[in-house]
């Protein structure tokens, strides 16, 4: 193996995915994509294996291979074909995450590479504005797009596009974001074509096979060097399903044998009636992410690094939901708890390496209504950071997005310029991190004052249960949500849909991270 050449090609293909992300950022209409960068880009080879990805959203990237696998089983790409899908049960994550796929062909019409991007749209229809509220069926969550031709050499597929835009809120913004996704694909194709024109395809294919083998070797070495052989169990809980006030267990049995690991989730709870369900690809994404954390930064992430990890789920469970189960919060909330459970088990196999639990929630808020300044409908979605779990040698960071989200906070100036609400407070929630030898990071306080009436959906976790500490460190504080109306403060459930009036305030206090080690 020519390690230097392998690394050069690793960086070369990764740079294509990164540049796709830059184009998507600069072209998008919605603040969720433009400001928060809630999207991901990746490159796959002709067999559908992941070969490169940008440093984007772990929950997107880890589930993309399953998406492409389903699409390739249904569609043979012709030049200029773009396929669109958001189907959670065909490799997707949840309905707002819309995926576009395009192939680069050689002169004989053979697909050489597949370019994929996935972006979270601020609304895809459904019962609740923002498509991220409490629901009991997938139909209530928005428009389901099974793998469909989005465009071809003949142009856009209007038979799909027109009915879709009629069902979503703010169709101009949806179309703008879809065009940004297609622009990102176009730039990716141009850059890949540059690579193909400089090197023979046989040589590139040989290097990419070595790159995948290198990714596998590194993951096997990481498992062998970092984790003690044995079987470890851990269980953590979701607060509730949003309707019934009962804890929902996520259970893991982790078996480590030399350079392989088996992760068994089959004892986890049955699927529920609300959107806390995840589909199997999301469980895979969270699992692979946790092991990639052990590898550290700078190593190649590709399909090879998946090979030493064996993941077992139970169909009909909360981590392998079956249709027509709603899944909107599984992607953003349950995925976070999967990581907490994995880290809890890994901490037994590598106690000096694993941090305490982070805030454990993406703290989702969706807001929709009519903007009185413009007279137009608006939809807005964001996640809010929290406290990072303390690390064995360092305190956790405060006010940061952790684990399965890698987004940014929306700048207040951009938010207030575009939407009819103001941010009255945006601060660190002091002393919300768990105490210990290393202290957990603190959460965030974010307060919204509404200038017009609106509909709000909250999907949040760790409002009843707390992020765990490790090795004697204390738990982090749980979060809280409040409605302030006419001077009166009312505590809200962690998962709720509600209508707000002008001058109402919503205050979100996010959880802190757990502490690590006993305080001296």
Say what the pLDDT of residue 61 is.
84
- Kind and range of the H or E run holding 162: helix 158-167
Residue that is last in its domain, among 184, 214, 244: 214
Say what the pLDDT of residue 112 is.
96
The tokens 């707000």 sit on which residue?
500
Asked if 484 and 509 touch (Cβ cutoff 8 Å), the reply is no
Residue that is last in its domain, among 214, 231, 248: 214
Question: What torsion, rounded to 10 degrees, do the Cα atoms 49, 303, 92, 90 define?
Answer: 60
Query: Percent of the chain having pLDDT more than 90?
Result: 90
Q: Which two tokens stand for residue 321?
A: 């939901």
Residues 335, 402: Cα–Cα separation, whole Å: 12
Residues 23, 18: Cα–Cα separation, whole Å: 9
Query: pLDDT tens for residues 32-88?
Result: 899 988 999 999 999 999 999 887 788 888 899 999 999 999 999 999 999 999 999
Query: pLDDT tens for residues 459-504?
Result: 999 999 999 999 999 999 999 999 999 999 999 999 999 999 999 9
Is residue 275 situated within a structural domain? no
The tokens 């465009």 sit on which residue?
151
Is residue 335 situated within a structural domain? no
Residue that is last in its domain, among 175, 194, 214: 214
Strand partners, 261: 256, 309
- Torsion 209-68-365-287 (CA) sign: negative
Is residue 267 situated within a structural domain? no
Residues 246, 239: Cα–Cα separation, whole Å: 7
Is residue 134 situated within a structural domain? yes
Say what the pLDDT of residue 262 is.
98
**278 closest CA partner among 206, 363, 337:** 337
Is residue 190 situated within a structural domain? yes
**How many separate domains does the chain show?**
2
Question: What torsion, rounded to 10 degrees, do the Cα atoms 171, 322, 67, 40 define?
Answer: 60
Taking CA atoms, 193 is separated from 15, 187, 188, in Å, by 13, 10, 8
Taking CA atoms, 357 is separated from 149, 285, 509, in Å, by 42, 18, 17
Say what the pLDDT of residue 299 is.
83
Is residue 350 situated within a structural domain? no
DSSP assignment of 418-433: HSSEEEEEEEEETT-S
Residue 112: domain span: 3-214
By DSSP bridging, strand 495-500 and strand 454-459 are antiparallel
Say what the pLDDT of residue 54 is.
85
**Positions of the chain with pLDDT lower than 70, given as ranges:** 1
Backbone angles phi, psi at 316, to 5 degrees: 90, 0
Measure the CA angle with vertex 146, ends 143 and 150; round to 5°: 90
Say what the pLDDT of residue 475 is.
98
Is residue 509 situated within a structural domain? yes
Residues 436, 442: Cα–Cα separation, whole Å: 13
Say what the pLDDT of residue 88 is.
96
Asked if 81 and 88 touch (Cβ cutoff 8 Å), the reply is no
Residues 5, 214: Cα–Cα separation, whole Å: 12
Residues 263, 268: Cα–Cα separation, whole Å: 12
Residues 63, 281: Cα–Cα separation, whole Å: 5
Asked if 349 and 261 touch (Cβ cutoff 8 Å), the reply is no
Asked if 383 and 444 touch (Cβ cutoff 8 Å), the reply is no
Is residue 14 situated within a structural domain? yes
Residues 99, 118: Cα–Cα separation, whole Å: 4
Which residues touch 330 (CB under 8 Å, ≥6 apart)? 94, 275, 276, 277, 278, 279, 282, 318, 321
């Amino acid at each position: 193996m020519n390690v230097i050449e392998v690394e050069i090609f690793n960086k070369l293909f990764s740079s294509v995915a990164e540049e796709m992300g830059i184009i998507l950022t600069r072209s998008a209409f919605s603040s969720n994509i433009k400001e928060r960068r809630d999207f991901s880009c990746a490159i796959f080879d002709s067999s559908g294996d992941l070969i490169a990805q940008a440093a984007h959203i772990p929950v997107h990237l880890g589930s993309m291979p399953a998406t492409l696998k389903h699409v390739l089983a249904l569609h043979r790409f012709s030049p200029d074909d773009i396929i669109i899908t958001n189907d959670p049960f065909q490799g997707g994550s949840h309905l707002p995450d819309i995926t576009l796929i395009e192939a680069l062909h050689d002169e004989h019409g053979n697909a050489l590479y597949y370019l994929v991007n996935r972006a979270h749209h601020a609304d895809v229809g459904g019962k609740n504005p923002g498509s991220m509220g409490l629901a009991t069926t997938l139909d209530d969550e928005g428009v389901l797009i099974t793998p469909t031709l989005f465009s071809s050499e003949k142009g856009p597929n209007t038979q799909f596009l027109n009915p879709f835009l009629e069902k979503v809120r703010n169709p101009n913004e949806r179309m703008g974001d879809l065009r940004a996704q297609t622009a990102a694909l176009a730039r990716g194709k141009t850059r890949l074509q540059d690579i193909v024109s400089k090197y023979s395809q046989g040589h590139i294919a040989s290097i990419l096979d070595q790159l995948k083998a290198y990714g596998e070797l590194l993951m096997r070495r990481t498992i062998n060097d970092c984790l003690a052989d044995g079987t470890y169990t851990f269980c953590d809980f979701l607060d509730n399903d949003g309707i019934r006030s009962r804890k929902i267990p996520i259970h893991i049995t982790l078996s480590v044998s030399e350079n392989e690991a088996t992760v068994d989730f089959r004892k986890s709870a049955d699927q529920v009636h609300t959107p806390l369900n995840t589909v199997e690809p999301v469980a895979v994404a969270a699992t692979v992410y946790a092991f990639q954390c052990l590898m550290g930064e700078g190593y190649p992430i590709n399909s090879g690094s998946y090979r030493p990890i064996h993941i077992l789920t139970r169909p009909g469970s909360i981590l392998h939901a079956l249709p027509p189960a709603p899944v909107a919060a599984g992607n953003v909330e349950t995925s976070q708890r999967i990581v907490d459970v994995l880290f809890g088990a890994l901490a037994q196999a590598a106690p000096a390496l694993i941090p305490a639990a982070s805030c454990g929630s993406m703290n989702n808020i969706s807001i929709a209504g009519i903007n009185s300044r413009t007279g137009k409908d608006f939809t807005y979605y964001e996640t809010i950071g929290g406290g990072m779990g303390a690390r064995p040698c360092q305190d956790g960071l405060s006010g940061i997005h952790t684990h399965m989200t890698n987004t940014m906070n929306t700048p207040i100036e951009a938010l207030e310029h575009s939407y009819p609400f103001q941010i009255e407070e945006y601060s660190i929630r002091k002393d919300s991190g768990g105490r210990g030898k290393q202290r957990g990071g603190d959460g965030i306080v974010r307060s919204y004052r509404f200038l017009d009436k609106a509909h709000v959906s909250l999907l949040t976790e760790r409002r009843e249960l707390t992020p765990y500490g490790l090795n004697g460190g204390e738990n982090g504080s749980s979060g809280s949500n409040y409605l302030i109306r006419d001077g009166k403060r009312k505590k809200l459930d962690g998962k709720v849909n509600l209508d707000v009036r002008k001058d109402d305030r919503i205050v979100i206090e996010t959880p802190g991270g757990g502490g690590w080690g006993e305080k001296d």
